Amino acid sequence: MAVHIVVLAAGQGKRMNSELPKVAHPIAGRTMLGWVLAAAQPLQPESTVVVLGHGADVVRETLPSDVVVAIQEQQLGTGHAAQIGIAALGDTLPGDVIVVLYGDTPMLTPSLVQELADVQADETGRLITAHIDDPSGYGRVVRDESGSVQEIVEHRDCTPEQLEIKEFNAGIYAIRADEFRAALDEITDDNAQGEYYITDVVAILAGKGDKLEAVVSRPEEVAGINSHDQLAEAQQELRTRVNERLMQSGVWMLDPQRTYIDETVTVAPGARIYPGVHLEGDTTIAAHAVVGPDSFIVDSSIGEGARVWYSVVRGAVVGENCQVGPYASLREGSVMEAGSKIGTFVETKNTTLGEGAKANHQAYLGDAEVGARSNIGAGTVTVNYDGVDKHKTEIGEDAFIGSDTMLVAPVTIGDRASTGAGSVITNDVSDDALAIERSGQREIPGYSHRRQARKAAKKAED
Amino acid sequence: MAVHIVVLAAGQGKRMNSELPKVAHPIAGRTMLGWVLAAAQPLQPESTVVVLGHGADVVRETLPSDVVVAIQEQQLGTGHAAQIGIAALGDTLPGDVIVVLYGDTPMLTPSLVQELADVQADETGRLITAHIDDPSGYGRVVRDESGSVQEIVEHRDCTPEQLEIKEFNAGIYAIRADEFRAALDEITDDNAQGEYYITDVVAILAGKGDKLEAVVSRPEEVAGINSHDQLAEAQQELRTRVNERLMQSGVWMLDPQRTYIDETVTVAPGARIYPGVHLEGDTTIAAHAVVGPDSFIVDSSIGEGARVWYSVVRGAVVGENCQVGPYASLREGSVMEAGSKIGTFVETKNTTLGEGAKANHQAYLGDAEVGARSNIGAGTVTVNYDGVDKHKTEIGEDAFIGSDTMLVAPVTIGDRASTGAGSVITNDVSDDALAIERSGQREIPGYSHRRQARKAAKKAED
Amino acid sequence: MAVHIVVLAAGQGKRMNSELPKVAHPIAGRTMLGWVLAAAQPLQPESTVVVLGHGADVVRETLPSDVVVAIQEQQLGTGHAAQIGIAALGDTLPGDVIVVLYGDTPMLTPSLVQELADVQADETGRLITAHIDDPSGYGRVVRDESGSVQEIVEHRDCTPEQLEIKEFNAGIYAIRADEFRAALDEITDDNAQGEYYITDVVAILAGKGDKLEAVVSRPEEVAGINSHDQLAEAQQELRTRVNERLMQSGVWMLDPQRTYIDETVTVAPGARIYPGVHLEGDTTIAAHAVVGPDSFIVDSSIGEGARVWYSVVRGAVVGENCQVGPYASLREGSVMEAGSKIGTFVETKNTTLGEGAKANHQAYLGDAEVGARSNIGAGTVTVNYDGVDKHKTEIGEDAFIGSDTMLVAPVTIGDRASTGAGSVITNDVSDDALAIERSGQREIPGYSHRRQARKAAKKAED
């Protein structure tokens, strides 16, 4: 028995007030739709179709290549969308099961989808139900005395007694292929909205004596996202799942509710993550690394035993036992070799620091190579941009760059070379040499009297 | 029928351990009392009186001009305060309704106050009740078999059976003016505390056959704030209300529980707000702006499509598509025109950046005008303060200020002019010119040997 | 009647995936075990023994000197551990009470431990119970019709009816010394796991007619920590307790759930703490100080009326009415005298700022003394490290250090002395003098044409 997936994802989400198609909104490193597809992944579906409408191109780009896209040009209802999706599945065998999901229910869990699709030999199909206090508008699940599902009664057809039922049909189905197709062929748009409803399938099947088994879920799992407050709830729920998984694997977190980690990120057991940390994209945190508080790391790797706090790190490699921050910004192409240090108010871009090299204070290093064990003084700048081109600064090993040195690139500083504080270095410096650019210090005695006099005059004016 | 509001706000809140009068504590951009007044605003009251005691002057300054202040010199109880407040209302018509609220219940909602004040033609008045597990000390709401309120029984007068009642009288009333005044005239201080209690009004009215209708609320709405832990709860509740409103209008938030926005702030639909953001005072965030993580913005406007992250912005204007941060500080009078950029470790004050101008790294710009498309090098400082006065720096369009340039104000840099890295510029620079202040670079060969020798000597000493 | 404490703390916590022994994990300023010992402190125990296994040396270092350590070499069960611990207590009198606690239940409250140990004259001992939905594996508390405890039935011995009981034995005991020792002597390892269980003591005592009284607790209080998600819950619970205590004493917090304060920290009433603040170690915050948002303060004192925001402060003293930040880093040995100011992108280490002194922008001050009322210009650096040694910078009172001054230590700047912007100061400066190191400014007219030409050439190349 093969399983086929159809995800209905054509809804526009007008209440989101967003130009982005609703199902393309990112949540913890996946799109909303991506979470639904991920929940279906363990079924190893034979084929997967996503039905798109508004913004189809934007959504299509986010999909894996083995997902087929079907377009619902006109919004004629969920039944219509399901017809389009199932038509795009191609051939199915009679015993196959077609699972219909929605692109805006990102909190679906794999285990729930698995239970839904686990249609037994003697079953025609299954549907998901849940209990909520106010199921107005939904079909109610009527059970007999033994507790098994008797029928689904649409809200409009409920008796007053049935309206009191809190268990509702979530509209998520797994049904044998042939029966599903046949039932969909029979639904009509003969209703107040003039739309084709997938829920009508249940009654049509029941009319043929085919009852669907109910799988009871928590209501959150099947909740559709239609507004930013609902999106925020989904973000919290999925963030919690990521963090629970990491903590159970041995990651320490001081406050998981305030720790924002994409599903795409790898964090090794033994790492410590403080609150206010965002880990995004293709990021890896090694064991015994300590990250945060309050750091933003995207597309970067943090090595074993490294510490990064109060810093922003983008597209960088932080080696073993390195230290970053507080208050550092590592931009694209920054590479820190083992034991190197980028301290406070330091920014780097497209720069390599050799093993044990240090830039502890207020430096800007762009397009630079810094050799092992070299020390970069406070306020040093690699003057890499001349208004037209960017140039490279090369610093040897064990060099000592004095505070406030301007390294006017292209320039090379030799091994063990030094520069005097406040120097503007425009020429290469030889190995072992000290380069200095400085005038003589002069003193003007009694200068403070002028300042005092001006202050006094100013005060007199007031 | 006109509505009049009396807010009792003379309580001292000794448990707050604060010199600030309790009702003047700020919560999400309003005072505690301000939230109560705002909840009553939709009633369009004919007149509003606030009864103040301790710290009246401080509180008075926070009030709108159409609110009358009455002073309760001695704390003789809520009934006494209500008498003072109602006396200050001036003339009322017999059919008018007087609503008595408390200044320390900031979680009151407008809808609850509206329902309270909606006294029907056949009613004398209404009161608010709520259910809590332990209503010790409060009057219990005794209802008859049909569920309508029979009487309010004060705690001290309750039968053991009545003590089990969880519904209590919250002490918040809307009563016809004449009946209210008459009943207040009859209350006495003949009780253990020797105070005049407004709750006695209920029994006095009942004695005349005038029952008050009960409006049932959630207990949070009527909770008085008497300590910092209760204040923290109110802050959370009101913060949640602000954020829910914004999200429902189309604002994206990653974590609304960690997003701190004053009621006074405007955020356009389509804006994105990350956690750890504080938006205060007269601040506006335009559509498609992205703010945070971890930023503090007060009395500023952020333009459409701008991005501000890991930054502090005070009294500034950030134009369309500008970029700020990570780690920037924009202070009073900072104006960024469209597409300009203030990068990392940059501070500005009283400074304008023209369209497309950039100060990407570690600059301090104070009292400066930077022309369109000009580029400010890393480490540049406008030396605006000479120890007595502040002076202005003017930079033309398309200028290129080299790294670590000291612009000693007053000074003017021409259009398309450049400065050499590390230069101290004390004289004006002409259009198109390069200004440079620098000595020649000298080299002392073999200098590293001295350092090595000293290191060796030091090691030998140890 | 004396009370003796035995804490069983030999468990390894393999699910923590940590090299640190489980009970040594820090939570809000104490170890996990430290919270358990603190909960027992109000009993003023005659003697306290902690039974350790794995990592005993690491744990021992965290213990007060009056706590005796006993080692359980082999993990033969809780009964075995209790035997070892009680043996190490030394002499006890028959009427004494021995309390057995666990090192991995940090949420125990002092009041619960006190109730547990409050064994009455007619009682043999007490045990703690709690209710949870699924007490599988735990002994159930069987009560008679009057509600008093009849027996504890181990899970394996429960009738189907007893398995439905939600109240379980938490395994925490206070028992008369002689009865406890005697009962422990009788337990065996004749069970599936081949371990000695302390729970068997209950049945043995019951066999002798000695029933234990049950003290009912909330299940959180007795929850053992075995994984990082459980540790995170304990951190949240204990953080909440610290913050509740502070708020009730008069400390303002905007969001206590996001405020991380060690139990060891003192915060005075009237202080204000914003979210994202971490206060650790030996730290004191005085009244009317305002801390945060987003600051990290360890082993430091913040004076009355001072404001520290968006800053990292380690081992520093911030005096009365000082201002720090946004974005400052104060490191070990930083001392700010009253009214001094450390502004934006400023780092200090081992440096004293005199009264009213200011370093407002982008300075690095290391190993410096700054006199009262002196002003340090933007970008100033004390060049304290020559690659071998650190040297001191001394600045007098009312001095005016120009922007981007390099103070090459050792160097002394006199009272009221000034330095010119961009100067490298290598020689001492006299009182009142201006020291300047600068060349003449030159101008190269029409330089921008070269840049334009190069830009044009580059464009032509593309």
Residues of chain C found within 8 Å of residue B425, distances taken between Cβ atoms: 441
Q: For residue C424, which residues of chain A lie inside 8 Å, CB to CB?
A: 404, 420-422, 438, 441
Chain B residue with the nearest C-alpha to that of C424: B422
- Which residue among B54, B131, B228, B361 is the active-site one? B361
What's the rounded Cα separation, in Å, for the pair C391 and C408? 9
Q: What is the pLDDT along chain A (462 residues), one digit of tens a residue?
A: 799 999 999 987 777 877 889 999 999 999 999 999 999 999 999 999 999 998 899 999 999 999 999 999 988 999 999 999 999 998 899 889 999 999 999 999 999 999 999 999 999 999 999 999 998 888 899 888 887 788 888 888 889 999 999 999 999 999 999 999 999 999 998 887 888 989 899 989 988 988 899 999 999 999 999 999 999 999 999 999 999 999 999 999 999 999 999 999 999 999 999 999 999 999 999 999 999 999 999 999 999 999 999 999 999 999 999 999 999 999 999 999 999 999 999 999 999 999 999 999 999 999 999 999 999 999 999 999 988 899 999 999 999 999 999 999 999 999 999 999 999 999 999 999 999 999 999 999 999 998 888 888 888 877
Looking up tokens 């035995």 gives C6
What confidence score (pLDDT) does residue A460 get? 86
- State how far residue A17 is from chain C, nearest Cα, in angstroms: 29
B420-B421-B424-B430 Cα dihedral, nearest 10 degrees: 30
B229 to chain C, any CB pair closer than 8 A? The answer is yes
| Joined tokens for residue B183 | 């009943």
Nearest CA of chain A to the CA of C277: how many Å?
10
- Rounded Cα distance between A34 and A104, Å, is 10
The domain made up of B252-435 is a member of CATH 2.160.10.10: yes
For residues C246 and C253, what is the distance between their CA atoms, to the nearest angstrom? 9
Residue-level pLDDT at C433: 96
- Which subunits count as partners of chain B given 3+ CB pairs below 8 Å? A, C
Q: Is B424 on the interface with C (CB under 8 A)?
A: yes
Q: For every one of its 462 residues, what pLDDT tens digit does chain C have, with 9 covering 90 and above?
A: 799 999 999 987 777 877 889 999 999 999 999 999 999 999 999 999 999 998 899 999 999 999 999 999 988 989 999 999 999 998 899 889 999 999 999 999 999 999 999 999 999 999 999 999 998 888 899 888 887 788 888 888 889 999 999 999 999 999 999 999 999 999 998 887 888 989 899 989 988 988 899 999 999 999 999 999 999 999 999 999 999 999 999 999 999 999 999 999 999 999 999 999 999 999 999 999 999 999 999 999 999 999 999 999 999 999 999 999 999 999 999 999 999 999 999 999 999 999 999 999 999 999 999 999 999 999 999 999 988 899 999 999 999 999 999 999 999 999 999 999 999 999 999 999 999 999 999 999 999 998 888 888 888 877
Given this model, what pLDDT does residue B191 score? 82
Alpha carbon of C230: minimum distance to chain B alpha carbons (Å): 22
The pLDDT score that the predictor gives to residue B173 is 96
| Residue positions of A annotated with a catalytic role | 361
pTM here? 0.95
Q: Which of residues 149-208 of B touch A (CB under 8 A)?
A: none
| H or E stretch covering C184 | helix C177-186
| Closest chain B residue to C241, measured at CA | B229
Across the interface, which of A375, A379, A449 has its CB nearest the CB of C381?
Answer: A379
Contacts of C406 in chain A (CB under 8 A): 403-404, 421-422
CB pair distance less than 8 Å for A458 and B256: no
* pLDDT for residue C211: 85
As a whole number of Å, the end-to-end CA separation of chain C is: 93
Chain A residues touching B389 at Cβ < 8 A: 454, 458
Partner residue opposite A443 with nearest CB, options C227, C258, C429 = C429
Cβ neighbours of residue B10 under 8 Å, at least 6 residues apart?
B51, B52, B53, B54, B72, B75, B81
Q: In chain A, what are the helix, strand and coil shares in percent, each to the nearest 5?
A: 25, 30, 45
Q: A residues 359-418 near B, CB within 8 Å?
A: 362, 364, 379, 381, 383, 385, 387, 398, 400, 404, 406, 408, 416-418
Subunits next to C (3 or more Cβ pairs <8 Å) are: A, B
d(C-alpha B299, C-alpha B286), whole Å: 14
Give the A window 30-69 contacts with C, CB below 8 Å.
none
CATH numeric code, B3-222: 3.90.550.10
Q: Please determine, for residue B17, whether its predicted confidence score (pLDDT) is greater than 80.
A: no
Q: Give dist(CA C214, CA A426) in Å, integer.
A: 82
Question: Which pairing describes strands B368-370 and A328-330: parallel, antiparallel, or unpaired?
Answer: unpaired
Provide the chain C residues 429-448 that lie in CB contact (below 8 A) with chain B.
438-448
Sign (positive or negative) of CA dihedral C287, C290, C293, C297: negative
Chain A CB contacts of C410 below 8 Å: none
The rounded distance, in Å, linking the Cα atoms of C14 and C36 is 20
Contact between A40 and A5 under an 8 Å Cβ cutoff? The reply is yes
**How far apart are the CA of B454 and the nearest CA of chain A, in angstroms?**
14
Q: How far apart are the first and last CA of chain A?
A: 93
Q: Report the C-alpha gap between C315 and C299 in whole angstroms.
A: 5
* Residues of chain A found within 8 Å of residue C278, distances taken between Cβ atoms: 293
pLDDT at site A180: 96
What chains are in contact with A, requiring at least 3 Cβ pairs below 8 Å?
Answer: B, C
> Choosing among C261, C331, C382, C406, which should be mutated to test the A contact, i.e. which has the most A CBs within 10 A?
C406
Write the pLDDT tens digit of every residue in C162-190. Answer: 999 999 999 999 999 999 999 999 999 88
Question: For chain B, what is the mean pLDDT?
Answer: 94
Per-residue model confidence as pLDDT tens digits over B221-242: 999 999 999 999 999 999 999 9
Determine phi and psi for A390, rounding to 5 degrees.
-105, 140
Q: For residues B394-417, give the mean pLDDT.
A: 97
- ipTM for the assembly: 0.94
Shortest distance between the Cα of A369 and any Cα of chain C, in A, equals 20
Give yes or no for C424 touching B (CB within 8 A).
Answer: no
Cβ contacts below 8 Å, chain A against chain C, sum to 168
Q: Which residue of B has its CA nearest to A20?
A: B270
B387 to chain C nearest CA, in Å?
Answer: 7
* Contact with chain B for residue A450, Cβ under 8 A: no
In this structure, are strands A125-131 and A167-176 parallel, antiparallel, or unpaired? antiparallel
Distance CA B37, CA A396 (A): 69
Q: 3-class DSSP state for residue A259?
A: strand
Question: Are residues C230 and A247 in contact, defined by beta-carbon separation less than 8 angstroms?
Answer: no
Residue of B nearest to C240 (CA): B229
Q: Which of residues 231-270 of B touch A (CB under 8 A)?
A: 244, 247-258, 269-270
| Chain B stretch 265-284, residues whose beta carbon is closer than 8 A to a beta carbon of chain C | 276, 278
Listed in order, strand segments (DSSP E) in B89-244 are 97-102, 125-131, 140-143, 149-153, 167-176, 213-217
| β-pair partners for B366 | B349
State the catalytic residue, choosing from C288, C361, C391, C449: C361
Q: Using the structure block, give the residue that is written with the tokens 């293709």.
A: A282
Distance from CA of B286 to the nearest CA of C (A): 24
Q: Residue B364: how many CB atoms within 10 A of its CB? A: 30
- d(CA B257, CA B36) in angstroms, rounded, equals 23
CA neighbor of C279 nearest in space, from C326, C314, C237:
C314
Interchain CB contact of C290 with B (< 8 Å): no
Contact A286, A300 (CB under 8 A): no
Query: Quick check: B14 pLDDT over 80?
Result: no
Smallest Cβ distance to A232: which of B253, B345, B404? Answer: B253
What are the sequence ranges of the domains in chain C? 3-222, 252-435
The distance of Cα C144 from the centroid of its chain, to the nearest Å, equals 45
* Residue type, position B46, single letter: E
| CB-CB contact of B101 with B172 (8 Å) | yes
List the single best residue of A15, A228, A294 to mutate versus B (max B Cβ within 10 A).
A228
Show which of residues 64-93 on chain A sit within 8 Å of chain C, judged by CB atoms: none
Give SS3 for A367.
coil
Residue of C nearest to B20 (CA): C270
For residue C400, give the nearest of B327, B387, B433 by CB distance. Answer: B387
Instruction: Determine the pLDDT at residue C413.
Output: 98
Of C15, C345, C424, the CB nearest to A438: C424
Q: What are the chain C neighbours of B347 within 8 Å (beta carbons)?
A: 344-345, 361-362
Hey, do C3-222 and C252-435 end up sharing a CATH topology, with the first three levels equal? no
Q: Which of A1, A221, A222 is nearest to A125 (CA)?
A: A1
Chain A partners of B422 at a C-beta cutoff of 8 Å? 404, 406, 422-424, 437
